[in-house]
Every structure is written in C-alpha cells, then in structure tokens.
Amino acid sequence: MIESTLSISEPQLVLSLFGARDQHLRLLREQFGVTITHRDGEVRILGPKEAVSGATKALEQLKRYAERNGNLDAETVAAIIAQIRGASVPNKARVDVINPSRQIVARTEGQHRYIHAIRNHDLTFAVGPAGTGKTYLAVALAVEALKQRLVRKVVLVRPAVEAGENLGFLPGDLQAKINPYLRPLLDALHEMIDYDQIKR
C-alpha cells in the first residue's frame, strides 16, 4: 500500500472535481479500488501502487479540465478514467489527425453527437458554452477528412463582410477585427498538423 497527495484548496474546484454528493469521487474510488480523502486543502489517495498511480493521474487530468472549463460532468469523468485505465474507446469517438502523436477522443455524449453530425451531414450548426470543444473538434474533423482524402483542402472562413464594412466598435482596421475570429481555428490547426503542411 502506498499514499499519494494532491493539493486542491479552492472550494469551487473541489466541488467541481468531486461532483454533487461526491459522485465523481465515488466513481474514482470504485474504478481504481483506492481510498480518497480530502482535508486541509490536500487530497490523499491510498491503495496498491498501480491503482494509486492511475487514480492520481486521473485526478490531475480532471483538475486541469475543471480549471479550464469550470464544471465536470459524469461523462467527462468516466471518459478520463477509461483513458487512464486503458479501456478501449469506440472508433466512432476517435478523430484521426495527420500528426500520429495526436489522438483526439470525444469525452462527453454531446461531443459524440457532434462528431456523428459532422461526419454524416454537409452542414452542422453547434450551439453551446465556451470551452466545450466545438471549434477544436470541427477543426480536428476537417483535418481527418483531409487525411482520408475526402476533401482536397481545408478552408478557414472569416465573417462575411465586404471590405470597409462596419464590423462594430472593435478597435483597429478590418484585419485586426477579423483575426480574433480566426485565431481559435488557427491555434487548433497548429496543434494537429505541421507548419509546412498548413502553408500548403
């Protein structure tokens, strides 16, 4: 038996990480077979070496996710636990990208439906809060289609405005106003494929 510790002091982060009525915490305990307690801003994980290692990795990933996105749902927690434990992820939930070191997997039921919709329809609209993966998954699926030669090129489009048309009260010229719309698309693209491939 070994013990591992993880510092988590922010009350809101603890609540998000453990879930309502500690439902996420119970799932972690059951899936890894460890004892997890929280006291004085410190999470203690006790159990067999491999189980503690897996539970610690899962908690670290869940902590990073909660810090970025705020709330954790049960599907995301289950997906991260499955990934750490090496459970197989259905092929329909995977997105293949050109960079072989990069594996992208849907982590929530909403993301599963989103991937299915994009793969099966010519036009897909997605509405949801920031940080839920809408832009990132759309770019990943575009790269996948390029890799599989379903398309010849990926086109990133800006808001449809004529040159000189008023785009609101944002500062700067037209280019400066449009760039923020394209930045998330370009950032995602740079994560998935090499710079030389992007230029081509």
Q: Are 134 and 124 in contact (CB under 8 A)?
A: no
Backbone dihedral angles phi then psi of residue 196, each to the nearest 5 degrees: -60, -40
Give the pLDDT score at 194: 72
For residue 86, the model assigns a pLDDT of 66
Q: What is the pLDDT of residue 166?
A: 59
pLDDT tens figures, 92-120: 566 666 555 556 777 777 787 888 888 88
Q: How far apart are CA 57 and CA 82, in angstroms?
A: 12
Average pLDDT over residues 65-83: 81
β-pairing, 94-96 vs 103-105, is antiparallel
Using the predicted structure, report yes or no on whether residue 34 has a pLDDT greater than 60.
yes
* Joined tokens for residue 83: 């990934």
> pLDDT band at 36, cuts 50/70/90?
very high
- Report all structural domains of the chain as residue ranges with CATH numbers, in order of start: 2-85 (3.30.1370.10), 91-199 (no CATH)
Question: How many whole angstroms separate alpha carbon 179 and alpha carbon 172?
Answer: 11
The whole-number pLDDT of residue 88 equals 46
Q: Is the pLDDT of residue 198 over 80?
A: no
Q: Report the chain's mean pLDDT, rounded to a whole number.
A: 79
**Count of C-beta atoms within a 10 Å radius of residue 120:** 8
pLDDT greater than 70 at residue 57: yes
φ/ψ (deg, to 5) at 195: -60, -40
Residue of 91, 112, 89, 84 lying closest to 27 (CA atoms): 84
| Amino acid in the structure at residue 79 | A
Half-sphere exposure of 143 (CA within 13 A, CB side): 27
Task: Please list the residues that pair with 47 across neighbouring strands.
Answer: 2
For the chain, what percent of residues have pLDDT higher than 90? 12
Whether residue 167 has pLDDT greater than 70: no
pLDDT at 154: 85
